[in-house]
Amino acid sequence: MNQLVAIERFFLIGHIAAMVFGLFGLLIIVPNPDLIMSLPPYGQTLFQAGMTSGGVVYILLGAVAVSIYAYRTLGLQPWLTFMLPAVFISLSSELLGTSTGFPFGHYSYLNGLGYKIAGLVPYTIPLSWFYLGFVAYLLALAGLAQLQLPKWLPRSVVAIALGALLLTSWDFVLDPAMSQALVPFWYWHQPGAFFGMPYQNFAGWMGTGAVFMSVAAFFWRKAQTPWQVTQAQLALPLTIYLSNFAFAAITSIAAGIVIPVFLGLVLGVAPAIALWWFAKPTNVDSESSEFLPANPMPIK
């Protein structure tokens, strides 16, 4: 298990480092082409490789880190019963969206995120839905497990709604930046009223996230482990969420887009931190130094 933790941290650090490298390229190197020409040949080669594959690398590293974490923390079945629905349902939504405009609006991907499935959707996109969706949903589950809700309000339904909101709040910030940056990754055929995005896009994100989280909730309905995750065990989900939000926020602010960042802070970052805070404190056995979850609350 210690080896898995070390590997997980390696991929997490690589994921964050890839985002930092991407920010450096997008915000400093690209706007200043003279800097590129002043680099030595190996530097120019490294920069070109980073710009052509950096988006792919950071998504793959994030997906691997979250996969190891999910397997290590929850087990094989909970990991797969979240990942597979998330990947295939989000891919279906993206293929439908890029073909018909439903449910997100009319848009197309460019070539910066890797091989396109059916020539429409980069294979990395469903992986990003998976790893951001997983950390958002787990934060919601673990935080709500310690809160008293009205009897008429099912805890699992609230967790799905909160998880989908956290996921969509990240897109508030990411989408304007990535579609309007100097090096865009997708574009809207008809720019919408919300900083270039149609409002329909957010309904599509909420709906898609809620669907695959609902499928996972069905498979997890008898499992107590996801509700038992402690504050310390939520370190990776919170780090993934906040680091990805920071990447999107810095890119948006650099492009002069501020209001979506504020909305993301209110609807995404603040609830994510609050859910982590509400999660179960960690009990540590002095002899084994292993996390020992306290007795779970009944989940309805």
Return the number of other C-beta atoms located less than 10 Å from residue 229's C-beta: 23
| 3-state secondary structure (DSSP) of residue 23 | helix
Is residue 53 a contact partner of residue 75, using CB atoms and an 8 Å limit?
A: no
Q: Torsion angle of alpha carbons 28, 29, 35, 38, nearest 10°?
A: 140
pTM of the model: 0.90
Q: 25, 94, 104: which is closest to 58 by C-alpha?
A: 25
Task: Dig out the tokens for 42 from the structure.
Answer: 């190996």
Amino acid 130: pLDDT: 98
3-state secondary structure 257-273: CCHHHHHHHHHHHHHHH
Is residue 234 a contact partner of residue 139, using CB atoms and an 8 Å limit?
A: yes
pLDDT tens-place string over residues 171-222: 989 998 788 766 788 989 988 888 888 999 999 999 999 999 999 999 999 8
Amino acid 292: pLDDT: 36
Give the separation between CA 289 and CA 221, rounded to whole angstroms.
Answer: 30
| 3-state secondary structure (DSSP) of residue 280 | strand
Residue 225's pLDDT band (cuts 50, 70, 90): confident
DSSP character for 108? Answer: E
**Mean pLDDT value of segment 161-171:** 97
Give the separation between CA 87 and CA 218, rounded to whole angstroms.
Answer: 16
Give the separation between CA 183 and CA 181, rounded to whole angstroms.
Answer: 5
pLDDT tens-place string over residues 117-149: 999 999 999 999 999 999 999 999 999 999 989
